[in-house]
Amino acid sequence: MIPAPFDYVRADSADAALAALREHGDDAKLLAGGQSLLPLMKLRLATPGVVVDVSRAADLAYVREDGDVLAIGALTRHCDIVSAEVVTAHAPLLAHAASGVGDRQVRHRGTIGGSVAHADPSADLPTALLALDASYVVRGPAGERTITATEFATGFLETVLAPDELLIEIRVPKATGEAWGYQKFTRRAIDWATVAVAVQARGGGTAISLGNMGSTVLRAASAEAALAGGASAADAAQHADDGTEPAADVTASADYRRHLARVLTKRALAAAGRS
């Protein structure tokens, strides 16, 4: 449980982080809250030669309104998302999902950008952000680009981010006054989701996303289409696992995850007022 040797670079701004990534290339790894990277380093599943510590980059820690969008800096910690009034007012699904991440210590260190960039399919925030139709602003040597939550994760712990790119902002279209639901099934209180389901109503439509039902977070497209076609919530929920390929592991078989996806979708839709 001791990481392999590495060099440490502290980068207290987005520009300093980008400069360090440019200098050290593929050998460098960003450290935000360290709640996912450090366990991987201790297990020597990650062995970066250089750790670029951005945890004190204050220019990347903010939550602000930008017209119809909530703009959230990548270094914003889970606990600050839980308590930010603009988030509870305009994206309560996100605040609720953040409140269920790990325990207090994890929520006080972990960041929204770290959670998104880590791309764990069982993570709470990426599941909620997918249902919220969020997009991610990334900065690199060629400038900035914006990537939708649907396109961002490409596989288990894999994303479209290049090694010299920094996730700087999460943009969440406001869902003020819209119904939502979030269901997370765990074996123990502080665990990652065995399966999670996020539901977000918006302008008459309903988005449903699934955590831990494949190698990335997913939209439950068949269930969404069934709802849009007039199916009841109970009938639509029966399609929640259509097209998914959940893993089997020590917490659940693939079939049990499929069962959970259907049950949790029905419950999340009920919480969002759909019957």
Ligand X SMILES: Cc1cc2nc3c(=O)[nH]c(=O)nc-3n(C[C@H](O)[C@H](O)[C@H](O)COP(=O)(O)OP(=O)(O)OC[C@H]3O[C@@H](n4cnc5c(N)ncnc54)[C@H](O)[C@@H]3O)c2cc1C
- Report DSSP state, residue 111: B
Position among 37, 84, 210, 233 found at the interface with ligand X (CB under 6 A): 37
Show the site string, 40-79: x = touches ligand X by CB under 6 A, - = not.
----------------------------------x-----
Interface region with ligand X, contact rule CB under 6 A, candidates 5-13, 35-43, 215-223, 226-234: 35-43
- Residue 237 vs 260, nearer CB to ligand X: 260
Per-residue H/E/C for 163-210: CCCEEEEEEEECCCCCCEEEEEECCCCCCCCCEEEEEEEECCEEEEEE
Answer yes or no whether residue 32 interacts with ligand X by CB under 6 A.
Answer: yes
Answer yes or no whether residue 101 interacts with ligand X by CB under 6 A.
Answer: yes
Position among 72, 82, 110, 244 found at the interface with ligand X (CB under 6 A): 110
Position among 3, 102, 140, 173 found at the interface with ligand X (CB under 6 A): 102
- Report DSSP state, residue 141: T
Backbone angles phi, psi at 268, to 5 degrees: -65, -40
| 3-class DSSP state of 13 | coil
Show the site string, 140-169: x = touches ligand X by CB under 6 A, - = not.
---------------------x----xx--
User: Encoding tokens for residue 213?
Assistant: 């039902």
Answer yes or no whether residue 33 interacts with ligand X by CB under 6 A.
Answer: yes
- Rounded CA-CA distance 233/235 in Å is 5
Interface region with ligand X, contact rule CB under 6 A, candidates 1-9, 36-44, 62-70, 241-249: 36-44
Answer yes or no whether residue 9 interacts with ligand X by CB under 6 A.
Answer: no
Residues 6+ apart with CB under 8 A from 23: none
Answer yes or no whether residue 31 interacts with ligand X by CB under 6 A.
Answer: yes
Position among 4, 43, 58, 190 found at the interface with ligand X (CB under 6 A): 190
Among the listed residues 144, 119, 139, the one whose alpha carbon sits nearest the alpha carbon of residue 129: 119
Answer yes or no whether residue 123 interacts with ligand X by CB under 6 A.
Answer: yes
Position among 11, 30, 70, 170 found at the interface with ligand X (CB under 6 A): 30
DSSP, residue by residue, 57-81: -GGG--EEEETTEEEEETT-BHHHH
- Strand extents, DSSP E, 11-142: 28-31, 50-53, 63-66, 69-73, 135-140
Which residues contribute to the site for ligand X (CB under 6 A)?
29-37, 39, 74, 101-102, 106, 109-111, 113-115, 117-118, 123-125, 161, 166-167, 190, 192
